[in-house]
A and B are shown apart, each in its own frame.
Chain A
Amino acid sequence: MNSIEKKLLELNKIEDIQQRSHWMNSLHPLGKLLISVIYILCVTSFDKYDIVHLILMSVYIIFTFAIGELSFKEGIYRMRLILPLLIFVGIFNPFLDKNIVLIAGYEVRGGIVSMLTLVVKGVYTVLAVYALIATTPIDDICYALRIIKIPKIIVIVIMLIYRYIDVMSKEADRIFTSYRLRAPGQKGIAYKYWGALVGQWLLRSMDRAQIVYESMTLRGFRGDFIPSKKSVRALDVIYPIVWIAIFMIIRFAVTG
């Protein structure tokens, strides 16, 4: 299996998780979106030395992954790109920040604490986003974005990018597979073919994207996706209120 196929499988796997019949998946998308946004705002607003209270914010991640039956392994796997970046950004803190701070009664160099805080914030943020997308299909997230009055054009661009990522990945997969089958023993694509292959990839992706667009317009698409309206149950209101209250308590009451 080549790397493009693996990426497509990952995408399909997330879509499978989104379609589970779990109560967390069936929650109203607006509530889940608000929880995620407020969680990220709260997490990122903690002081750079306040790692002790920041750890309390893990309660949401632990609850969502445990009760929502999401795989921590998958969540951590999603961080493989962002984690090195976070570490790179924070790696110089221990050398530059020589303040001494008290953590649970122990004196620790401020740079080390701030680096850890940065990494923890990054981990929480990525896991919160993963929890959102694993329990909410892109159409529902866009529906929630429209409710909170995000401009239509932005929401449609998000939806179309999502659709066309699939189209472009499948085209890339076909081209790469076709190349590989006729170039045994080669690692990757020979330099001299890159121009032709990338050109073909773009042209074919555009062709397919054009057909998809025609298919949409022939079924009444006039520049706006019309989602099915979601009914609001008591749990859809209570669930976000409880979580947002917990975040506020941790952020403002406990932290002081």
Chain B
Amino acid sequence: MKTGVSGELLNISGLSFSYEKDKEVLKDIDLKAVDGESIALVGANGIGKSTLMKLMVGLYLDFSGDITVAGHKMCAANLDHIREHIGYVFQDSDSQLFLSTVEDDVAFGPRNYGLSEEEVEQRVAKALGQVGIENLRKSKTYKLSGGEKKLASIATILSMEPDIVIMDEPSVALDPRNRRNLIMVLKDIRGLKIIASHDLDFVMNTCERTILLDDATIVADGATKDILGNEALLQAHGL
């Protein structure tokens, strides 16, 4: 739900994380992001992009350093508050859509946060409208095409009206038309957007800021056109 918090929505400082002892996946990450920004997380496979995003939504709590989301410090006690303000779109839409119909799935989040049925109804209609799939409202999720599933997945997050939307490889397996459609949809989403992607054209079209990860840390953080325009930098870091 919208916090009303403006300005800084995400503040990460000194973040380190490892799945196994002595094998840090992320090391001393510092990152600040403000409302309205579109940030791309790029880097080679297995470099820790997904891990960083999962840390942002509190799926892993055994990290060192600090993460503050919409004014809430990341800890077990604050998870419910944090998750009201941050939405995560998984790479695999089949895992994101777990209910029978698009309508039920999009309503799942708002219902869990105790909204009235009228409000849930409004949220569902608005979210489906935002991604342009009002016609799929009653559709069975297993019958959707890849592009439709991706849009439905995004709608499940938008219905919660988060301040921050995080997306893991949203353009994967989309045909050119659906990819163009997704770019238009993302441009219309307000708030802070953080998108992990290997699709550099897609990043160029959707994000004005890019963060390049390599060797468990941030190696570059700046304007997308500067970073993606620096071929030597990209090649040096596996892109």
Contacts and interface: CB of A to CB of B under 8 A. Distances in A.
B8 interface: no
Interface stretch (B39-47, B110-118, B171-179, B225-233): B110-118
The CB with the most chain B CB atoms within 10 A, among A211, A215, A219, is that of A219
B113 A139 contact: no
B59 A220 contact: no
Interface SS of A by simple majority: helix
B27 interface: no
B86 to A, nearest CB: 8
Interface stretch (B92-100, B188-196, B199-207): B92-100
Contacts, number: 72
B84 interface: yes
A207 to B, nearest CB: 9
A216 B140 contact: no
Contacts of B84: 220
Given A19-B100, A208-B95, A219-B156, A12 B87 contact: no
A12 B95 contact: no
B59 A214 contact: yes
Interface size on B, as a range, is: 20 to 34
Interface string A150-178: 00000000000001000000100000000
A219 B108 contact: yes
Given A214-B59, A216-B108, A218-B83, 10 more contacts: A19-B101, A139-B104, A214-B90, A217-B83, A218-B87, A219-B157, A220-B108, A222-B112, A228-B111, A228-B120
22 contacts: A15-B100, A15-B142, A18-B100, A19-B140, A138-B100, A139-B104, A163-B98, A208-B92, A211-B90, A211-B92, A211-B95, A212-B98, A215-B95, A219-B83, A219-B157, A220-B84, A226-B112, A226-B114, A228-B104, A228-B107, A228-B117, A228-B120
